[in-house]
Structure 1
């Protein structure tokens, strides 16, 4: 088993497959390193693929102090894993919590990032729902503590933006819920409080996002309601950003629609490596409806 040791002494488990330009996969709150199996099998044929378990997710360390968890720390942990694996630069792909971490990594470490896929990132970003999100996040943390991951996992896994996955692939969804039930209750609670509850709204990062030059692909499901408008905001704010909306899709995009997810990312990375993922043409003025002269 391979581990990266962070500058604050936390060991992060990671695994690697394939050769070629590197892709780092960063999991969501409800997943872990195992979440990316459909992507590792696909992309490792022509890329070096690395997936890891975030702090608080076995077999990585589970710090007891909630102050060991933060959005900045989650972003920096991506770079720590890259360095431990001997990777100088990489494409990074993240879902939900992992999508936020990838976006912050692109802001904080632009010299290490070739491109970033930001999928299903939006929860807590909407200004109108900030306080509600913090409150519900605290309740989720308490439920993990009070009931344990095994008991609470089936409830969490049947959220409004995950039933799409359950309906399309009941077997896959059941495996997702069972694996979620094996998470550390302490790690889940600390992650929810230290990372999810405290991260800044995307709208508060407008100036940093406007300066971001990395090629970005934002992906959202059209039934992942609280990610749609934040996704549009990212598209309009980041210079080299594309937006993909997957039809009849919820939050767990890489498992719910693996073929479409993989195909879109493969095309994105191919364009980035060909140097053709350019900023928006200035002639594509969003205030113009039709040209008259």
Structure 2
């Protein structure tokens, strides 16, 4: 069990106590204190944010699902007001999983539905692999960058360039550029106000934390294809969600659907990478139905008769 601590932080409780429904705290992770918020009561849901977001990125889900669930979100290491370790070795995919487990331990959560977007989606997958006994279900949204066969080196190179851009320009200057990526402009076109909020949050990121996260987590994590055997043995109920214009997540999403024994795939039309903010109503509806089926015991493994090699049934 990890102790909850607020030592070394500037009166966070004073800043947030006037905000109705927020319960802020610090949880001691693995060498880094992590900022956590929770709302609601009931079966727990743990929301894990993407590289370009932070704990506030889940606000549409925290408001909606806290009506009947205990909703928890947190700032990953390197994201204020969580600690920002300066050692590059403090950032990795394994450490991201350990931090998610530390949050659950710090709040006394034995099991939870785990919901992650992009970087958080990778952490969600790895929680299913490493601590399946802690996961009621997995929602893997917008995950797949760096997992397309033959494009792994390209993704690593781009990740390192993004890290350099954060260091050289600073988060404030680079945020509007990053926010106009090929899978972000859909959000900008549909909801300019929401997109502007996204970019404004991104501009407050730690320059150091963003660079170290990009180099240590994003650029070094294994491809899904490298984990095919482990994934094929992982039977935690899983929902994969992708936008149809989030091109570099489509093939990895199909791969996960084919490999994971108890997975469903939802593709959101005319949608990019920032699924939960770009299409919050559709995202919430799909997630709510998935959780209901899991809790009813109706989200089962794929029927073995649904053979991927068969087109039509014959007498042969």
TM-score range for the pair, normalised by the shorter chain length: over 0.9
- Choose from 46, 57, 77 the match for 1:35: 57
3-state SS of 2:230 partner: helix
Q: What is aligned with 2:194?
A: 172
Q: Which residue of 2 aligns with 1:204?
A: 226
Secondary structure at 2:182's aligned position in 1?
coil
**Among residues 238, 241, 265, which one is paired with 1:219 in the alignment?**
241
Cα distance in structure 1, aligned partners of 2:186 and 2:27: 35
CA deviations 1:239-279 (Å, max 9, x no partner) are 00000000000000000000000000000000000001001
Matched, 1:5 2:28: yes
Give the Å deviation of 1:80. 0.5
Does residue 134 of structure 2 align to residue 131 of structure 1? no
Q: Report 1:48-63 matches (<5 A).
A: 48-63=70-85
Give distance in 1, aligned partners of 2:313 and 2:158: 47
Supply the distance in 1 between the matched residues of 2:57 and 2:83 (Cα, whole angstroms). 18
Aligned length: 292
1:67 corresponds to: 89
Instruction: Give the match for residue 103 of structure 1.
Output: 125
Cα drift, residue 291 of structure 1: 1.3
Q: CA deviation at 1:3?
A: 1.1
Alignment of 1:105-124 (within 5 A): 105-124=127-146
Residue 151 of structure 2 aligns to a residue whose secondary structure is helix
- Using the TM superposition, give the Cα deviation of residue 148 of structure 1 relative to its aligned residue in structure 2, in angstroms: 0.2
How far off is 1:127 after superposition?
2.3
Tell whether 2:297 aligns with 1:278.
no
In structure 1, distance between residues paired with 2:162 and 2:101: 28
Residue in structure 2 matching 1:257, options 265, 279, 283 = 279
Shift of 1:9: 2.1
CA distance in 1, matches of 2:122, 2:81: 22
After superposition, what is the alpha-carbon deviation per residue over 1:191-218, rounded to whole angstroms, capped at 9, x for unaligned? 0000000000010000110110100000
Question: Any gaps of 5 or more consecutive residues in structure 2?
Answer: 1-23
1:233-252 alignment runs, 5 A limit? 233-252=255-274
Deviation at 1:28, TM superposition (A): 0.1
- Runs of 4+ aligned structure 1 residues displaced above 6 Å come to none
Pairwise CA RMSD of aligned residues?
0.6
Distance 1:196 1:141 in 2: 10
Partner of 1:51, secondary structure, is strand
Residue number in structure 1 paired with 2:164: 142
CA deviation after TM superposition for structure 1 residue 157, in Å: 0.5
* Residue of structure 2 aligned with 1:156, choices 178, 185, 204: 178
Pairwise CA distance, 1:4: 1.1
Q: Secondary structure at the match of 2:267?
A: strand
